[in-house]
């Protein structure tokens, strides 16, 4: 399967749910990608093959709560690397650092254990979707507070009209996504 075919194949398995969670929003649901083992394998392989390249290979994979856990943990396992969860506030039991960021409808806070990464480690930061970019930027800031280098952000879906991918790239973080959808 060529790269273009992979992107189209994955795009064809993303469900659009109109008017959820609010009127006018076209929610891009990735759960069909996870339900079919063949489709899930194609999805994971698209990330794994990219990060097997020695130039792009991270030291550790970090995933953003919650769908970034699904992707990040499997990608880390396939690459033979450790996995770091970045959780919503109040979910981690040990000493944490936190970062608050703005959402379309308010704000949120994410946390990371203080011993999750070591200074100088190269981290791949992964999530399911890039909308406004707030979650990924907060994750990047957390990892950098601990001295790690976020070498790239990755996601399945980019919604470029919401400006997140532009914001992320403007911050100096490289971003890799598999599928784009226009609109919200």
* Known catalytic residue at 167: no
Report the alpha-carbon distance of residue 52 to residue 138 in Å, rounded.
26
Q: Are 168 and 133 contacting, i.e. CB atoms less than 8 angstroms apart?
A: yes
Report the alpha-carbon distance of residue 159 to residue 152 in Å, rounded.
18
Q: Are 129 and 156 contacting, i.e. CB atoms less than 8 angstroms apart?
A: yes
> Which of 15, 104, 118, 169 does the annotation list as catalytic?
104
Residue among 169, 132, 131, 134 at smallest CA distance from 153 = 169
> Which of 67, 87, 99, 111 does the annotation list as catalytic?
67
* Known catalytic residue at 38: no
Q: What sign results for the dihedral spanned by CA atoms 157, 162, 165, 171?
A: negative
Question: How far apart, in Å, do the first and last CA atoms of the chain sit?
Answer: 29
Residues involved in catalysis: 67, 104
């Amino acid at each position: 399967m060529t790269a273009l075919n992979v992107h189209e194949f994955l795009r064809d398995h993303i469900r659009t749910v109109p008017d959820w969670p609010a009127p006018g929003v076209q929610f891009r649901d990735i759960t069909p990608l996870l339900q079919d083992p063949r489709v899930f394998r194609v999805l994971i392989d698209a990330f794994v093959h990219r990060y097997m390249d020695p130039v792009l290979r991270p030291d550790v994979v970090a995933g953003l709560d919650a769908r970034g856990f699904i992707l990040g943990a499997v990608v880390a396992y396939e690459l033979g690397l450790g996995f770091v969860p970045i959780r919503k506030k109040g979910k981690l039991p040990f000493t944490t650092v936190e970062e608050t960021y703005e959402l379309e409808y308010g704000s949120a806070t994410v946390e990371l254990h203080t011993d999750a990464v070591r200074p100088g480690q190269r981290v791949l930061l992964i999530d399911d979707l890039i909308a406004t970019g707030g979650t990924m930027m907060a994750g990047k800031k957390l990892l950098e507070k601990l001295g790690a280098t976020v070498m790239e952000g990755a996601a399945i879906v980019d919604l470029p009209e919401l400006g997140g991918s532009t914001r992320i790239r403007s911050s100096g973080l490289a971003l890799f996504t598999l599928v784009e959808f226009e609109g919200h």
